[in-house]
A and B are shown apart, each in its own frame.
Chain A
Amino acid sequence: MDGLRVGFSAVYFLQTAAALVLGITAWTKVRELYWQGTASRQPEPAS
């Protein structure tokens, strides 16, 4: 039973790590999309 317990703990820890990696990846995408939106909303410089 102890081996099973350790195995399940390992699987859930792996899931936690994968979720954190995915979250950081999504946060990188949020920053990229935010800056794209900010740049597209800036007015044209007056000549």
Chain B
Amino acid sequence: MERIPQSLVAMILAVAACLCYAFSGALSAWYFVTLSVSSLVGNNLSAAGSWMLFVAAAIVFFGLCAPAWEAVLARQWVSATEACGAAVGALVLAIGLLIDAASAASAAGSVVPAVGIGIWALLALARAGRMSLLEQESSRPRQASLWLISAFGMFASAIGYGLTASAGTGPLVALAVLLAAGLAALGYQSGWPGCAVWWRPARLAVFSPGWLRWRLPMSRLP
């Protein structure tokens, strides 16, 4: 798993996948905004969002294959196993999203992506256990609890995704709540490394001379 953020190909494909996912989310959000205005526009937006989501999952699959192959070549079998497991999860997710995009009424379009996210959740749970064992032996940074929260978020997202919305408003509410809970858990988990990435540009924007004319007066302090 450490190999994935160290692979240039994987990170370039991750940028592309994030852009596709953001576009898909914007289309889906716009679909719900315009749901009662025109059903034709709404359906088109929903279908476009589903296809963009499939494209994002396919890019994630190819992005995970690159570090998996690099780990196999380097004979790092633990990393290779984790990356291959994540790639299998992404493949199942992509197949499910393809079914969902091609036939929106199919129940398999909800269940198969949930299986893919469930595979990722199991991987995160296994990694949490492994990190917990490693942290007992040495003074490594504490990461097991973060992986556990991540696994919870993925399980919540998988259950939410697996619910079909055809039974009425109850499953719809449960789906929204579970998706929001999963997203919140993943956001909390990624907040720790995410803060490190965002802190430096934010500090430069506020404190470095010449960046902003309207910067805070405390930047003149020695």
Q: DSSP class of A's interface residues: helix, strand, loop or mixed?
A: helix
Q: Is B204 an interface residue when CB atoms closer than 8 A count as contact?
A: no
Contacts of B7 in A (CB 8 A): 33
Q: Is A37 an interface residue when CB atoms closer than 8 A count as contact?
A: yes
Using a CB–CB cutoff of 8 Å, the interface residues on chain B facing chain A are: 5-8, 11-12, 14-15, 18-19, 21-22, 25-26, 28-29, 32-33, 35-36, 169, 172-173, 176, 179-180, 183, 186-187, 190, 194, 197-198
A6–B35 Cα distance when bound, in Å, is 10
In contact, B11 and A18 (Cβ under 8 angstroms): no
A-B contact pairs, 30 of them (CB 8 A): A4-B169, A4-B172, A4-B173, A4-B176, A7-B173, A8-B29, A8-B32, A9-B29, A12-B25, A12-B28, A13-B25, A14-B180, A14-B183, A15-B21, A16-B25, A16-B29, A19-B19, A19-B21, A19-B22, A19-B25, A20-B18, A25-B194, A25-B197, A25-B198, A26-B14, A26-B15, A27-B15, A30-B8, A34-B8, A37-B8
In the assembled complex, how far is the CB of residue A23 from the closest CB belonging to chain B, in whole angstroms?
3
Contact of A29 among B11, B33, B179, B180 (CB under 8 A): B11
A11–B174 Cα distance when bound, in Å, is 13
In the assembled complex, how far is the CB of residue A11 from the closest CB belonging to chain B, in whole angstroms?
5
A18–B184 Cα distance when bound, in Å, is 10
